[in-house]
Structure 1
Amino acid sequence: MDESFETVRDAFGAAARWFAETVHELDRPPAPWEAPALGEWSRRDLVGHTSRALLTVEQYLRPGSSESVRRSVDYHRAVRGGRADPDEVAERGRQAGRDLGADLPESVDVVVRRVTRLVAGRAADARVETPVGEWRLAAYLPTRVLELVVHTSDLRTVGGLDGPAPEVASRQALVVLGALVADAPSADAPRLLTALTGRSALAAGYTVL
């Protein structure tokens, strides 16, 4: 079932604020922002990468409306098809972390306030021009909710913090993941069906992204 744009926008705001709150919680002595986090990223790098879930909305929004019929799942298809260079993705995360400066919590707060205000003033059919095509804001924004929820959870895990994502954000992330499960290659269907019904386990590292 399609979510209303108001619900999607609420989920985005809740996920963004949860990200900001998490950065504040992590900013406690000794606040090891350069400590390892995810793969080759430090905590700072991971904060930088997560902030891009907000900054790309600001960067890609254009004046006017879009008649695009592409869905959120189509965005992930396009990104996969574009075969983004993992090294380039990693470096963009590192650069975003550096760009946030010395006071990560304050910088993240500024980004969250600015981008959530921007989104609050735009309609569902606002035009979003990404490197892999044009989307309506209502279709692009759920992909950012998923990014915020997943990577904020990563940050909380490496920081040893408890507490789940806000329910509205978690549910929106699951809507996106559910569409990606349905869009998985046919060869994956048997193991997904048995795993999702509790009859088997997926291999470590398996992802629908």
Structure 2
Amino acid sequence: MSVIVSSFTEAAFAVRDTVARVPRDAWDGPGLGEWTVRDLVGHTSRSLVTVIEYLARPVDREVVHSAAAYYTAISAGTFDPAAVTERGRRAGRDLGDDPATRFHALVDEAVRVAQRADPDLVVHTIVGGMRVAAYLPTRTFELCVHGLDLAAATGAPIALPARAVEEAAALAAVSAAQRGLGPDLLLAMTGRRGLPPGFSVV
């Protein structure tokens, strides 16, 4: 198994275990922004659903060549924040009456798909064709970030694997640099000054 697939797998398992620990009375409580915990978990499940769906849709043309370029394309796109919010809510509803069990099943399926995929296969994504090896790190990043969101919202512990966190942090740094935000990030990471208001790599 490649390092990229291992990182995705380990991050997915870590978030799965945190979802399993969400208190029964927390699902309708505050999650992130306008989302409830159920909505947040639903949005997080999109990192699994897209692996399942996209890796089954090969395309001829590679448009986006790296994970960092994916986030550059996302930031330059015309994606409606309200639509993203609503997709999270819809994904939360799709988890059904037992969201933790459904999330667990999605993890198992996504991991199987990722482990069987050819890393050089070019597949459909929301920003155009990408190789599996470039797309999977974006899913690891999302799982790490939203796993931390979930832990903060519910108090359920999360034990993200070091390799996945390192991969996600490196991706964030490269994404920032490619968008001209590298100097701000370097100054903050070396204690020179804080990040400017609204700083984000996504």
SS of the equivalent of 2:124 reads strand
1:1-209 correspondence to structure 2 within 5 Å = 6-26=2-22, 28-29=23-24, 31-62=25-56, 68=62, 70-185=65-180, 188-209=181-202
Seen in structure 2, the aligned counterparts of structure 1 residues 189 and 118 have a Cα distance that, compared at 3 Å, is closer
Structure 1 Cα separation of the partners of residues 134 and 71 of structure 2: 11
Structure 2 CA distance for aligned equivalents of residues 157 and 139 of structure 1: 29
Secondary structure at 2:16's aligned position in 1?
A: helix
C-alpha deviations, 1:168-197, integer Å up to 9, x for none? 211111121121122132xx4543332121
Unmatched runs of 5 consecutive residues or more in structure 2? none
CA distance in 1, matches of 2:171, 2:41: 22
Question: Which moved further from structure 2: 198-207 or 58-67?
Answer: 58-67
TM-score, reference length from structure 2: 0.92
Contact 1:43 1:155 in 2 (8 A): yes
For 1:112 and 1:78, locate their aligned partners in 2 and report how far apart those are by CA, in whole Å: 26
User: Structure 1, residues 88-136: CA drift from partner, whole Å, max 9, x if none?
Assistant: 0000000001001010111011100011001111111122201321000
Gaps of 5+ in 1: none
- Quote the Cα distance in structure 2 between the aligned partners of 1:134 and 1:18: 28
Judged with a 3 Å threshold, the aligned counterparts in structure 2 of structure 1 residues 113 and 163 are, in CA distance, closer, same or farther, namely closer
- Higher strand fraction (1 or 2): 1
Which secondary structure does the structure 1 equivalent of 2:21 belong to?
A: helix
